[in-house]
Structures are given as structure tokens and as C-alpha cells.
Structure 1
């Protein structure tokens, strides 16, 4: 597999061309792309990454954005560029709190965001819906309904945004409870409680709850719990990180947070001056992200009953950049932050970026955000067929909004037309690519032996 952008045809594909994918068996080169990513990650966490990816074809798909970006780069493209999410699978959307404390539904993972073709995102989303449906054991009809509903919602939302003024598009957001009411009416109330549970979970996930779960008090100070390998305080990490002691490592993290302030607006810097760092730890996150360096810092405002937990997560080259073109930012962390601000209707008020240098001289980019900010993920392990269709529609609308904000929504809307060809194409593509994912999964299991 080439690491450079693939040469493409000059003729834009028809919607029927979007359906085309031929399954290729025994793709050991695809697995080498994953192994190549692991080479730059924390060595002792790589087995955990493979274990999580090896649980099922769906968890495997969550960690293979690089494989799909490579595969899509071999296909003809429309030539209409947007700010791609880059890893727009169904598990990377969810509920979170806006700065005004309203719950919205939107994309919630931006590690791979970069300029790229709009169809890369919607193809990954549609394929993830099919793979999720297979993972849940849904009938083919139910999976087809969910994938086609996803494609149809994307098409209709783009058409709606194309008729709006630019400022109206920019300010639009998806009030999750209002949207659920609408979708449940369409489906005659048969969406179950899956998404509603995510909303209730989001209401409870704030900094106080995070501190209650992850930390404990020692006198007037807050300290992180030790729950290796998912959560490891700095005092247990200094030797592994190449520092003489935890005080030196703590000072390095404090320097990282201090430099991050420069990326924030003045009012946010003033806000953070009221907080002081009590403790820090390494935290394992996600499935595909396992092994990237992720730190959490425990701060307190007025006292230990006024906590704030920030996450600093390593940012590296986007898979979209690798197979399309470089993003126009000075660092990968800035790419993630600016990309998120571009496509998301409302972002974390403390979202920013920085850079840190390890004792061995290696410089790494980090973006910083609140660990919990009213975030609620969809429980895809218990989702029903009706709820899968609702969630697919919510994701498609959020994705269409991201593309309308950053691309030519008139051109994309015209490209999609108003017939069923787009839905037909994405359903056919999703089935074929789900078969490809299962074939790649078997090669991965044979290589790493981590089937759950």
C-alpha cells in the first residue's frame, strides 16, 4: 500500500459508482498499516489496543480509519472538498453540553479531521451503521433500513442547508431532545430508550462526577486513583517516561498546561487562572486511540469541592492528510482544534493546543479539552434496530451540517440529486465494505491472536 496520494481519474464518479467495492482477501498489507501506527505509540499499551480491536469486527473497524482512508483514496472522487471528520463512524457521535448548558448531538472525535472529499466521511459512516447492525445480529432488512435512512438524512439535510443563508447554516445546531421527538414520530415511537439513556447520562457527566469517579481526597488535596492500565498516576510513571522522579514529570506537565493557555482566548485564560493543579495521570482512551499519549490533569478552583479535569491528548498525522493532502496548520494539535471549531456547532470553551518535549528530545503535539463536558455516548452494544435507525439519522444530520459549514453545500446537494440513487449506492457499498472489514479482521486475528 502506498503512503502517498493515489492518482485519480479526471472524471467525477456517478452516484452509482459510489456503490463499487470489490472485496480483497488476505490483505496483510492492510494490517501493516495498523502495525505502523503502533510503532509510534506507548509500547506497553499496544497489546491493549490490539485486545480492544480484536473483540469483534465492529471494534476492529473502530480502529481502522487508516485502512479505510487508504481504500477510499484508490476510488474516484467528486472533487468537492470539505473539512472531513476523517473517522466518522457511528461511535464517534454523541451528546454533549454546549457553553449555554444545552444538550446537543454532534461529532465528538476529531483526531483525524483534515480537508478531504466529503464522500469519504459519509461512506465511513454508512459502513459503520451496517457493521454495527451485523454486530448486533440484526436482520438484513433492519440493517438496510438503517443504512438507507442514514444516506437519505444526509442528502435531505444537505439540501436543507443549501437553501439557508450562510450565517443560518453556521449557527444551526441539533437540539438532541427536539430531534428525537421528531424522529420518533417518523418511526411511530419505536426507537426504544437507547438514545434517551445517552441524554440522561450526559446530564450527569460533569467535572464533579469525573472527580468522584477517578479521584479521592487526601486532606485538602485531590489525588487520582490508581487503576492500571486505564488510569496511572504520575507517581507510578516517572521511570517509564524517562524522568528522574514524579516531581520532574509533574513540572513537565505543568509546563505543557501553561503553554496551552496561549492558544485560548483571553477570557478563558482568565478563567483558568482561578484553578490550581493538584494531580495528574496517564489515561487510556478509546479503541483506535489506545497507545497514543493521553494525560489528565486534576485542578481545583475555590477548593477541592470545585474540581476541573482537563485531558491532554497526543495528536499526530491525520489519515486523511496521509492519503489526501496536508492540513494548513502549524501543528497536528492545532489541526485537531481548528478542525473541530470549523465543523462543530459548539465546542468546549477550554479547547486548545500545545506542544511538549520529552527527555529524549522528542517533541509531541497535544490538544487539551475538558475530560467530561456533559458527554453522553450511545450504548451501541444494547441498541435496538429502531434506535440504530434513529442514531444513524442523527449522525447523518450532524455530518451534513459539518460539511455544509466547511464546503460547497450547493454543489454537494446538486451532486446528490433528489432520487434514490444515493441511498442505493451507499447500501451496496456498505454491504461490500462490511465484508471487506470482516476479511481484514480475520487476518488481524490470525496475526495477533486476540479474538475475544
Structure 2
């Protein structure tokens, strides 16, 4: 991947004239462009947020629901009603609309698109090390770098309110994330490309520091969670999600969270679905590296179930595929998740990839230091003739996250620093790190602007959360709060 002189993200072979121009720019030229961007978007301007008088966040959520499984939409709304932070997690689209009306630097990177603090976490690298990184890319798309920073900052302010932090403590947490982002970007601008590409966090040391700053009653729980990270793989998923009936291993039914397709569809449809899934697996294999293709050939499809995932993703089609390499003792769980157009597409331009699953996978590989070895994409034609794009990955692979609700201010400050550094590393891989570093500068102007924005947006988030509560109460939206 290369960047144009405007900091845009381009694929190899795309836009050759611009690519050649970008290669001819010196580091000084790129830094100058970053400083020039301050003319159109001064650092202090990123504090600005004025809600549009016609904004209707609930209308946006209801419109988004039209492309989702109808019976699961109330589950999504119910999960968003748990708290203002839970609402924030599911409201990527309303915030994208809001961000489109804020000052824009014009410095583009590969965005996560939903960079709230719960979309960072630890998982296994291909070398079986525990790494910390961004871990959700459903909305990934090239766009202005500050949109990810603002969503991260706002999420910290919202989570801080949920944890009853003081205003001063919340600001300290947000500043920790943005300062880490800014100083890391400046450090990456002084490094070679390969050094940036290989950069990663020492999870054991850093998470240990977070753990030391958590509420005492939760420390043992967190230590246990970290210790169990290495067991969270397909074998652990096998024991948790399956049982043996008449000598045959089957996925346990836990409706509506996990439902084997045999319970959702009629027998004739089930047979057709398995036929489609096997064909889809063949297409998916073609998106993997040759050694991964070879590995996957050892596994046979055993059963498929529908699974409810996350908060914002609830209602999109997600399937669990139980695979087996031998006699039921060597399982592999794959998750196939529907990829719909990014919520950023209307504002940042449509993806250059016709398959939305490929968009997600390419963005993930570009932003993450190390990705799942079985990450790939595919296309499905449903039995009813509907075209759908999916990306596929392992269901569980040493995944672990820190319980946000258990953090005290000092712990969240450390965690925010981790997220800020990680986001900078992800952006430095795809964007013009020389222009970004020059734009951000050495002072804390950008840090303070984002901290101001975060608090203002947290106010707006509380109003939007109340609006969802009211919409459920008056029947405009339906919610199931018992799941």
C-alpha cells in the first residue's frame, strides 16, 4: 500500500500517476503538507461539535435495522439500553453522521471506523504470543484520521461517566489516549517503514500495569481472565458450545444467542443451506494463503448455527461453523459474519472492493500488527436469492478483554494510553505518518481539543440514549432487555 500526496490510501496498481508523485515527495515535503493542513483545520477546531437541528439518531438506527434479521433487532436495542456506554457502542452510524459535520484535516488513513475502547483487546498472534490491537473492522474504510481519534476519545468520556469518574478524571483519561497517539505518531515518523510494521505492545507488561490499577476486588478476577486467555481456542469453544448426542457432537441450542440451523429452517431448506455453505467454504479457501488452504483441507464441516454477536452487530447475519479434522476430538470453530457497507461510506466514499467482506479483511490486515491466520472473505447467495458478503475467522483464539466497568481512573488512564498508541501504529501503517506527525505537532493543542470534543459528545450521547429509552417506551422502537 502507498499513500497519495493528500494522504489517501491506495492499493498497489491503483492510481499510478498519483502513486508515482507520492513516491517522489521527500519527508520534508510530506511534513510541510501536514503543517499546511492546519490552515483548513486548525488543531483547536477539533474541539467543535454543534449538533444538527435535524439529526435523528433513532431514525438512523431504525433505518439501519431494515437490513438486519427482524427478530434480532429488539435484542440489539435491548443491549444498547444497558447503559449510555452500551448505547455508544451500537451508535457508530449516528456518530459517523455527526463527524461528517466537523472540521476535517484531509489527512486520510485506513480507519477502524468504530474505534471505541471496547474494540481493542488481546488475542493470539500466528506465533502464539498474546498481542494487543484493534479487533473490530466492520466499518473500516479510508477516511480522516481524526474520526477514529474522536470516537476513541468520546468512548473514554462516556465510559468514565458510566464508572462515575469526576470530570477532571475523565479528561485525564482522554488526554492520556490522545497524547499517546500524538507522541507515538511523531516517534513513528522517525522510524523506518519496517520498524513501524513490526511494532507491537508488550501485552504481559502493559496489561499487568492495568491490572495493578483496578479495583482490588476485581484484581483476582482479571488475573484469572488473563491466565485463561491461552485456553480460549477451538477446544475451549468445543466444550462450551457443544455436546454429544447419540455419539455425534452437536452445537448446543441457546436461542436466540446460538441456534443450530436445523431449529431455524425447514428440513428442505437446511439441506440447501448446507450445500450452499460447503460451496461458500470452497470460495473462502481461495482467499487464504496457500499454506492456510492446505491446513483447512484437513477439516470437514459438521454443523452450522446462527450466533448473536456484540452490541452494534446484533441483527447482522453471523454463523458458527463447527469443523472437525478427525473423530470429533480436533475441532475448529469458524465464525462467518455478514459484512454490510461501512457506516462511513456515505461520507468517505465507497470502498474500492466490490465485496464488503474483502473490504473488512484488507482493512484488518492493514491496521493490525498480526491477524488471524484463517481470516478470509466470501460471497453468499441465500436460498431466497439475496446476495450477501461475509468475512470468516476463527471463533476464539486466546481472546481477552479488560472489564471496562471495573476500572478506576488510573487503570483506565493506562488502558487509554495503550489504545492511543495502538491506534497511532495502525494509522502509521496506512497513512502518511510524516504529514500526520507534523500536523499534530509537539504541543498539547490537539490533545486538549479532542478532550473538549469528547466531553461535549458524551453530553450528546446521554441525550441520544434517553431518546432511545423514550422511543422504546412510546413504541417507535422495540427492545428485548432480558437477553
Q: TM-score, normalised by structure 2?
A: 0.86
Give 1:104's aligned residue: 131
CA deviation vs aligned residue, 1:131-161 (integer Å, no higher than 9, x gap): 0010111122221111110111111111111
Give 1:423's aligned residue: 447
Greater shift, 442-451 or 265-274, is seen at 442-451
CA apart distance, 1:190: 3.3
Question: Quick one: structure 1 residues 38 and 152, their matched pair in 2 at CA, closer, same or farther if it must change by over 3 Å?
Answer: same
1:198/1:379 contact within 8 Å kept: no
1:282/1:294 contact within 8 Å kept: yes
Matched, 1:385 2:412: no
Matched, 1:295 2:322: no
Give 2:283's aligned residue: 259
2:339/2:357 contact within 8 Å kept: yes
Instruction: Identify the match of residue 234 of structure 1 among 261, 266, 271.
Output: 261
Matched, 1:277 2:305: no
| Structure 1 segment 33-182 matched on structure 2, within 5 A | 33-180=60-207
1:95/1:198 contact within 8 Å kept: no
1:111/1:315 contact within 8 Å kept: yes
Name stretches of at least 5 consecutive residues in structure 2 with no aligned partner.
1-36, 474-478
CA apart distance, 1:211: 0.9
Instruction: Identify the match of residue 31 of structure 1 among 58, 80, 93.
Output: 58
Superposition misfits of 4+ residues, deviation over 6 angstroms:
none
| Structure 1 segment 190-229 matched on structure 2, within 5 A | 190-191=213-214, 193=219, 196=223, 198-229=225-256
Q: TM-score, normalised by structure 1?
A: 0.92
CA apart distance, 1:11: 4.7
**In 2, distance between residues paired with 1:197 and 1:12?**
49
CA deviation vs aligned residue, 1:209-231 (integer Å, no higher than 9, x gap): 01111111235532100000000
2:141/2:348 contact within 8 Å kept: no
**In 2, distance between residues paired with 1:195 and 1:165?**
36
Question: Quick one: structure 1 residues 416 and 451, their matched pair in 2 at CA, closer, same or farther if it must change by over 3 Å?
Answer: farther
Give 1:396's aligned residue: 420
2:169/2:409 contact within 8 Å kept: yes
| Structure 1 segment 343-354 matched on structure 2, within 5 A | 343-354=367-378
1:314/1:333 contact within 8 Å kept: yes
Question: Quick one: structure 1 residues 358 and 215, their matched pair in 2 at CA, closer, same or farther if it must change by over 3 Å?
Answer: same
1:55/1:451 contact within 8 Å kept: no
Question: Quick one: structure 1 residues 179 and 229, their matched pair in 2 at CA, closer, same or farther if it must change by over 3 Å?
Answer: same
RMSD over aligned CA atoms reads 2.0
Greater shift, 265-274 or 373-382, is seen at 373-382
**In 2, distance between residues paired with 1:419 and 1:205?**
42
Matched, 1:370 2:394: yes
CA apart distance, 1:287: 0.3
Query: Aligned to 2:176, what secondary structure does the other structure show?
Result: helix
2:213/2:408 contact within 8 Å kept: no
CA deviation vs aligned residue, 1:186-229 (integer Å, no higher than 9, x gap): x9x53564865553342221110011111112355321000000
Equivalent residue pairs, number: 436
CA apart distance, 1:180: 3.9
Query: Aligned to 2:191, what secondary structure does the other structure show?
Result: coil
2:38/2:105 contact within 8 Å kept: no
**In 1, distance between residues paired with 2:102 and 2:222?**
34
CA apart distance, 1:451: 9.7
| Structure 1 segment 337-348 matched on structure 2, within 5 A | 337-348=361-372
**In 1, distance between residues paired with 2:429 and 2:411?**
27
**In 2, distance between residues paired with 1:377 and 1:251?**
36
Query: Aligned to 1:328, what secondary structure does the other structure show?
Result: coil
